[in-house]
A and B are shown apart, each in its own frame.
Chain A
Amino acid sequence: MPPVIDREKCTACGLCAEICSEDVYFGSVEGLVPQVTYPDFCAHCSCCVYVCPVEAIWLRIPFPMQLLYKDPGEQ
């Protein structure tokens, strides 16, 4: 569930935890890779994705919010 942090890339700058208005990173400790404490409360706004200076965050869209489409080319 969103957001997903790449622990290899993350520099633990804490910017994502600082800016999230839903505060899904609540309780994260300065200097450590942020923890996603409340993934259910993620609004999928991608603000943390765009603010991350090293592109370490990926927003995984949960299945109940999948985008549905018709594929006329599909057999």
Chain B
Amino acid sequence: MKEKRIQTDVLCIGAGIAGLMAGIRAAEKGAKVVLAEKGYARYSGRGRGGNDHFWCYIPEVHGPDVDLFMKECLKGPKLKTMQSGTASTVLRTFLETSFEIVKLWDQWGIPMTYQGRWEFAGHSFPGDVLTHLKYEGRDQKKVLVKKALEQGAEIVNRVMVFDLLKEGDRIIGAVGIDTREDVLVVFETKSVVLGTGCLDRLYPPPTPAWMASIPGNLTLTGDGRAMAYRAGAEIVSPEMPKRHVGPRYFSRFGQATWVGVLRDPHDKPIGPYVTEPHRIYGDMTPEVKGVFLEEYMKTGRGPVYMDCRGISKEDYEYMMHWMWHEGNAPMLDHMKEENIDFRKHPIEFQAYHIIPEGKIGINEKAETSFPGLFSAGDESMGGISCAATYGWIAGENAADYALDALLPEKSGMKAVVDQKEEMIQGITSRKEGADWKEVNIALQQLMQDYAGNVRSETLIKAGLSYLRRMRKKVDQMLMARNRWELTRCLETLNLMDLGELVFIAANERKETRALHHRTDYPLTDPVMDGKEIVVRSENGKPVVEVKRV
């Protein structure tokens, strides 16, 4: 295998919203920046199709008290659940910085106003504080890629970074593969920003036989989380499950953009929040309890429909405008082809698969617990507004760190790089064995059955033992016929590490909280309020702690 070396001050892994924002800011601060993207930067990550909601604090809209606004945001289940595992100092810094980012994006060409005003709608209950700014994010990635290149950042597409290189207690580089050519890519860097996104492929998709039946991206496999864990950084509450809601089978995010009411087959609203389509307040029922829809199906009271009938002409146009910006253009195309009309046809909704909420722990400077390693975006704080804001903060601090540091000695790298190369040679040279898909499906099966919607100590312990037993075999049997399959194999190995963390942390959380349902601990433990399960690796072994973050 050929080896390619790239030297930089700041390496951003993943060129989604967080990685690009980090790259732009670090380059602006004078650091040499390389963004490594395993797909293609312009069209990668959750934000590739667009977005229309930016959670932010604008003093002229929300009043001068940021703490009050933060309290308002967290009093309901919606943002509290989304931000579980995030330290309150981090959240506060996000809110304080968010308006600055809004103004920057607007200046760069991502329209953040609507008809000349700050327009807030969606993700909010009638009569309550409005938290999400509407914005025209259809071309957000195009704008951010252009800006990153203008600032002098280098984007390297088709390189999957799969492990960090460290010396003592600092990061000295990272190792990746070219996803198309037979090349090992070694980065020598002073600091790293992880921005690799969500963990969409650990649990079985809504239709288990159809891996693509998820609302997210098949390539989002928590690579940064797995790398950070192996390097020794803290992972916060990897056991907490999250479930999104959207159109049944035609899985898509963006339920908060729908102007409609969730109704049962007899047209009765299933939730108490709205009874007619309202452009400012969508139906918040799924944000209070996503699995509510599943309960309807299980008890035979379903299906549940998102019903936009009765919407005014103006509100219909408003919704269509935002659907397009939200990234739902492919759905609108499909509806046109099939003659499906929001104004006439209620669309069936469902709760999707489990996406673990675990995070790489960061402080208000986006530093992880490992020096020189920073993290932003869905790996540390969910949602595009958080990715944009914390990407910016991560880039700033990673640049400061790098500009004060010397390039590492290369001597420490060789043995580890050789070891990684040997592991890859093993996977690519096998003629018989198990491919990534077989292993990934087996992993999903164990996750769902032993750490899924129902959890208990006996199930968790059995599941963890089965997973570890399988892992030993997988390390000897995993095979790839080409670079594409090799990329999927490395993703799947990351997923296996993260699956183990889910089991370990789920065992430690001896209570029922949100969607973490323990049949042996059916009540919520109030002592755990504000505390998290923190897992890190020490000498290759997991160390678990309950900590206040």
- Chain B residues, CB < 8 A from A53: none
- Chain A residues, CB < 8 A from B219: 21-22
How many residues of A are counted as interface, with CB atoms below 8 angstroms from the partner's CB atoms?
Answer: 34
CB distance from B408 to the nearest CB of A (A): 31
CB distance from B512 to the nearest CB of A (A): 32
Residue of B250, B331, B335 with most chain A CB atoms under a 10 A cut-off: B250
B251 close to A64 (CB less than 8 A): no
Q: Which residue in chain B gives the minimum CB-CB distance to A64?
A: B210
CB distance from A62 to the nearest CB of B (A): 7
Interface residues of A in 29-75 (CB under 8 A from B): 37-38, 40-47, 49-51, 59, 61-62, 64-73
- Chain B residues, CB < 8 A from A51: 43
B340 close to A67 (CB less than 8 A): yes
A45 close to B345 (CB less than 8 A): no
Chain B binding surface, main DSSP class: loop
A42 close to B250 (CB less than 8 A): no
Chain A binding surface, main DSSP class: loop
Tell whether A19 is near chain B: CB-to-CB under 8 Å: yes
Chain A 5-43 interface mask (CB, 8 Å, partner B; 1/0): 000000000000011111100110000000001101111
Chain B 25-46 interface mask (CB, 8 Å, partner A; 1/0): 0000000000000111011110
- Chain A residues, CB < 8 A from B39: 20-23
Q: Which residue in chain B gives the minimum CB-CB distance to A59?
A: B330
A62 close to B484 (CB less than 8 A): no
Q: Which residue in chain A gives the minimum CB-CB distance to B341?
A: A69
A70 close to B43 (CB less than 8 A): no
Q: Which residue in chain A gives the minimum CB-CB distance to B338?
A: A67
Q: Which residue in chain A gives the minimum CB-CB distance to B265?
A: A70
Q: Which residue in chain B gives the minimum CB-CB distance to A61?
A: B334
B345 close to A42 (CB less than 8 A): no
> A43-B217, A70-B305, A70-B345 in contact; A65/B212 too (CB < 8 A)?
yes
> A19-B40, A23-B179, A47-B43 in contact; A72/B249 too (CB < 8 A)?
no
**Cα–Cα distance between A71 and B348 once the two chains are bound (Å):** 11
Tell whether B213 is near chain A: CB-to-CB under 8 Å: yes
- Chain B residues, CB < 8 A from A20: 39-40, 43
Q: Which of B40, B265, B340 contacts A18 (CB 8 A)?
A: B40
Tell whether B346 is near chain A: CB-to-CB under 8 Å: yes
**Cα–Cα distance between A46 and B505 once the two chains are bound (Å):** 37
A67 close to B40 (CB less than 8 A): no
A21 close to B249 (CB less than 8 A): no
Q: Contacts A19-B43, A27-B484, A59-B333 known; list 20 others, CB within 8 Å.
A: A21-B48, A23-B158, A23-B484, A23-B487, A26-B483, A27-B482, A37-B484, A41-B211, A41-B212, A41-B218, A44-B212, A45-B43, A46-B329, A47-B48, A65-B207, A67-B247, A68-B249, A68-B348, A70-B348, A71-B344
A residues engaging B (CB < 8 A)?
A: 18-23, 26-27, 37-38, 40-47, 49-51, 59, 61-62, 64-73
B residues engaging A (CB < 8 A)?
A: 38-40, 42-45, 48-49, 158, 179-180, 207, 209-213, 217-219, 247-251, 265, 303, 305, 329-331, 333-335, 338, 340, 344-348, 482-484, 487
List 19 interface pairs A-B (beta carbons < 8 Å), by A numbering. Answer: A21-B43, A21-B45, A26-B180, A41-B212, A43-B217, A46-B329, A46-B330, A49-B333, A50-B329, A59-B333, A62-B210, A64-B249, A67-B334, A67-B335, A67-B347, A68-B247, A69-B345, A69-B346, A70-B348
